[in-house]
Structure 1
């Protein structure tokens, strides 16, 4: 019974982290009294359209940088350790592949002006996800993943925002100013998630009591490549 609980509940721990992307800069136009060099104006406009600004740019800070591989140390369960691989997609979408050694789960997020929404979630995904822009836009929101601004009492990832300025320890480093999310089930089992700007989700904790025994499962950021 204890093993079944831990395997099922470890799925709840499979849920991502970030650095601001390096955005392209648009060149400064020549003064009007000079003849400008030949410029592909259409291509320049495309660059400007792709560049996020305002809260959308800030939302990128809660995901890993494009191409990043982050490893999380697991304790308390064989599936608690996992690797996240992050890939940026067109039209403000981000794909995150989570590999816990038993399966790979693909999650796709859509970033808007103030919200990051989960729009695709598929377990047992062992290929590279290469959708067209049209296919991405056709994806329907599943749940709210994150929002800005965020404050205590808000609900994201199906969890309550408890605090917005806590300390959290991980093998990678200790963080200040973390955002703590928490969810408690009817049987008292508790799931916590810690988010840090410039890194995203850095730690997950699951606690449950069965009889006189307490079970704690953690996944903590260990390295970034």
Structure 2
């Protein structure tokens, strides 16, 4: 697997090939070299294409690879154990099937410019989603999933970005440089989520206090196939 579970930025080197240079005679001024316009245009197009490719990699960085099946250990609730299956679709879309043992929810995301949008969310989905390109393009955005660059003060899936260098432990492995998200409800209940480049979401945590007891439910990455 890569890693959506995430890709770092690469330094782009652009080189051009030409004929072997001819040394000028002693005492003769070396003529100025002019780069043909077509060569300039080609170099610019190549650079733009590589920049676009790197941006695309960064957008996909918080999703797992096509065909990946990730299992999450659940604690605190019978539906906390999860299985997520990722499938790449045409026209810059990804489908994620989330199975919590009680139902399967399909979520479809669209990659556009520097952001990812949630364009379909359907619970009780037990089939394989095989839309046409036209059907995918017809889907209307539901919400913004995330936008690059992800920074403190921003949001991912509607949750506030608290840290971009957090540490998180999971049964699969321990991660550094995780993005920590938090959301607190009116009742004081807190939802936390950890995202890691090349893996995507690696842990969810729900905390709620009732009286003197704290109720905690977690789903933590355990294996990847």
With normalisation by structure 1, the TM-score equals: 0.77
In 1, the alpha carbon distance for the partners of 2:116 and 2:126 equals: 24
Structure 1 spans left out of the alignment, 5+ residues = 1-16, 21-48
Q: Map of 1:213-224 to 2, 5 A cutoff?
A: 213-224=213-224
Match of 1:38 in 2: none
Cα 1:97–1:216, aligned 2, differ >3 Å: closer, same or farther? Answer: same
Q: Map of 1:161-176 to 2, 5 A cutoff?
A: 161-176=161-176
Match of 2:152 in 1: 152
Deviation at 1:211, TM superposition (A): 1.4
In 2, the alpha carbon distance for the partners of 1:172 and 1:106 equals: 24
- The 3-state SS of whatever aligns with 2:61 is helix
Deviation at 1:19, TM superposition (A): 5.1
In 2, the alpha carbon distance for the partners of 1:54 and 1:142 equals: 26
Match of 2:36 in 1: none
Say whether 1:64 aligns with 2:51. Answer: no
In 1, the alpha carbon distance for the partners of 2:200 and 2:135 equals: 26
Say whether 1:18 aligns with 2:18. Answer: no
> 4+ residue runs of structure 1 moved beyond 6 angstroms?
none
Match of 2:86 in 1: 86
Say whether 1:122 aligns with 2:122. Answer: yes
Q: After the TM superposition, which of the residue ranges 56-65 and 199-208 deviates more from structure 2?
A: 56-65
In 2, the alpha carbon distance for the partners of 1:66 and 1:173 equals: 21
1:163-191: per-residue Cα shift (whole Å, max 9, x none)?
Answer: 11010000000000000010001111000
Match of 2:106 in 1: 106
Match of 1:207 in 2: 207
Which of 1 and 2 has greater Rg? Answer: 2
Cα 1:164–1:145, aligned 2, differ >3 Å: closer, same or farther? Answer: same
In 1, the alpha carbon distance for the partners of 2:182 and 2:140 equals: 26
In 1, the alpha carbon distance for the partners of 2:131 and 2:212 equals: 49
What root-mean-square deviation, in Å, do the aligned CA atoms of Structure 1 and Structure 2 show? 1.8
On the 8 A contact 1:19/1:65 being kept in 2, the answer is no
- The 3-state SS of whatever aligns with 1:136 is helix
Deviation at 1:113, TM superposition (A): 2.2
- The 3-state SS of whatever aligns with 1:59 is helix
Q: Map of 1:133-152 to 2, 5 A cutoff?
A: 133-152=133-152
Structure 2 spans left out of the alignment, 5+ residues = 8-48
With normalisation by structure 2, the TM-score equals: 0.77
Deviation at 1:58, TM superposition (A): 1.0
On the 8 A contact 2:6/2:196 being kept in 1, the answer is no
Deviation at 1:18, TM superposition (A): 2.8
